[in-house]
Structure 1
Amino acid sequence: MNYRRISGALILLLLFGAAAQAQETNAPPESSKMFTEARQISEGSPPAFEFELSGFTYRINGNGAGRRVKGEQTRRFNLRLDGGDYVERFYFAEYRDNVLLLCGVTNGESVAGFVARLEQPSMRTRWKQFIPAFNVGAGLIKDGHAYLTGINFVARLDLRTGEYVWKHDHLERGRGGGDFNSFEVPSIEGDAVLFREKPTGKSPARTIRVNRKTGKINGIE
């Protein structure tokens, strides 16, 4: 066995990976874009979802089993949900030739969510991050980060590592108390990210203003 050749190939692979990470870390500013909700194609339990992206059709069952199809070519993958969990809400986005999946999941009693980054063309899961909130909303992508929402939950996630930069849960509405409802798609204003509550008809919708870098809540309007 030619160990020298194997070692050389391994070094090249490591250097390529490091270069790709450095390129992503030092990427120039990007325009913001939002996640898109996938079509629900089955009313059963668990449901099934479908969407098109970059010439491929993606079909994902509520149990996390999925396939990417283009003509005669099919690649299968699995989101590996916990036992008894199934997807009840599904968003997607393209990011640096990879696929981002943003999901609300339930086991029939408790509800939460996750976001995952799947590499192309292998469909290997690069990372997967838990979202400790239900009613996960359509997030916003900006400059290598995702801004995520759920009931009483807002966060900024690093899309390179899959780790939270900051997050706030157990939020309270301030004057009058009570919980925050679900949110509209976040928006960026300079150094701030605005999380606007969806109106419920019971109380005025409010907006949380958060410093993008530090995560400090600068006001609830």
Structure 2
Amino acid sequence: MRTSIFIILLLACGTAYSQGETPLKPERRTVDRPYMEFDTLDFKIGNRLLSVEPYGRLLLIENGDTTESSLSTELSITRAYYLNSRDRHYFFFTDTDMEGATSWLECFNKDFKSLWVTPIQGFNMGIPLINDEFAYVTAIGFVGKINMSTGEYDWRHFNLYDRQTYDFNSFGQPIMNDSTIEFPSTNWKSKKERKILVDNSTGELIEN
């Protein structure tokens, strides 16, 4: 059964949303940096205000109290997803030095102390699927299943990107079937739809 959670999407010019609800528009506060501009994004979640600054500084304001923390990066954040579950805060994020990019999943306790951080291969990180204690994650040419209690991979598959056809450059949100996980992908150039199908228990690659 799919876990009911709250997810928000953070982009430099993006929006925030919770599953099944109307998208929330963040209040954007531009911060000047050399050669370009980044946004600090503010999200109101009930009586809480969560701010994610361009270089990963986190501010959570609740009932007049402010908790400060930081993502484990000194690079600029280009994309992130947030969820709060079982007294833990989870940030799926992509950082960049303007030459390359990498994605991560970082877990914080209820006091916003970092517990662990796990790499997610590459950029083009997609919206994760959360089911029970697992997160199904994607990036360019990459799919995986992460145990959200430990940060360890249950299974993962690399090097799925086809440099000739441009297939599996990015993925839509994973789909859970009875015993398999489907990772849908639309080719950005040909618009052809393909999918990666993985056995959820064994991690065996069934179809690509």
Scaled to the shorter chain, the TM-score interval is 0.7 to 0.9
1:206 to 184, 194, 197: 194
- Give me the whole-angstrom Cα distance separating, in 2, the residues matched to 1:196 and 1:189: 13
Partner of 1:67: 59
What is the correspondence of 1:27-42 to structure 2 with a 5 Å cutoff?
A: 30-31=2-3, 35-38=7-10, 39=15, 41-42=28-29
1:85-164 equivalence runs, <5 A: 85-120=75-110, 122-164=111-153
Q: Distance in 1 between matches of 2:183 and 2:130?
A: 14
- Quote the residue 1:188 is aligned against: 176
| Aligned CA distance change for structure 1 residues 61 and 213 (closer, same or farther; 3 Å) | same
Show structure 2 runs of 5+ residues with no match: 16-25, 32-36
| Higher percent of residues as strand | 2
Q: Please say which structure displays the higher CA radius of gyration.
A: 1
Residue 20 of structure 1 corresponds to none
Whole-angstrom distance in 1 between the partners of 2:104 and 2:48: 23
Say whether the 8 Å CA contact 2:126–2:173 is kept in structure 1. Answer: yes
For 1:211 and 1:95, the matched residues in 2 are separated by 26
Which amino acid is 1:207 matched to? K
Cα pair distance change 1:88/1:172, threshold 3 Å? closer
**Size of the alignment, in residue pairs?**
188
Percent of aligned positions that are identical: 23
Deviations 1:5-25 (CA, angstroms, capped at 9, x unpaired):
xxxxxxxxxxxxxxxxxxxxx
- Secondary structure, in 3 states, of the residue corresponding to 2:38? coil
Q: Is the 8 A contact 2:161 2:169 kept in 1?
A: no
Structure 1 length as normaliser, TM-score? Answer: 0.77
Distance 1:88 1:172 in 2: 21
SS across alignment from 2:149: coil
Q: Residue 25 of structure 1 corresponds to which residue in structure 2?
A: none
Q: For residues 70 and 31 of structure 1, do their structure 2 counterparts lie closer, same or farther at Cα, with a shift above 3 Å needed? A: closer
Q: Structure 1's 35 and 72: CA in aligned 2 closer, same or farther, altered over 3 A?
A: closer
Structure 1 regions of 5+ residues with no counterpart?
1-28
Q: CA RMSD in A?
A: 2.2
TM-score, L = length of structure 2: 0.81
Q: 1:133 to 1:106 in 2, by over 3 A?
A: same
Please report how far the alpha carbon of residue 160 of structure 1 lies from its aligned counterpart in structure 2 after TM superposition.
0.4
If each structure's helix is expressed as a fraction of its own residues, which one has the higher value? 1
**Does the C-alpha gap of structure 1 residues 111 and 182 become closer, same or farther in structure 2, counting only changes over 3 Å?**
same
Alpha-carbon separation, structure 2, partners of 1:54 and 1:99: 16
User: Which residue does 2:22 correspond to in 1?
Assistant: none
Q: Distance in 2 between matches of 1:166 and 1:114?
A: 16
The yes-or-no answer on 1:219 pairing with 2:191 is: no
3-state SS, counterpart of residue 104 of structure 1: strand
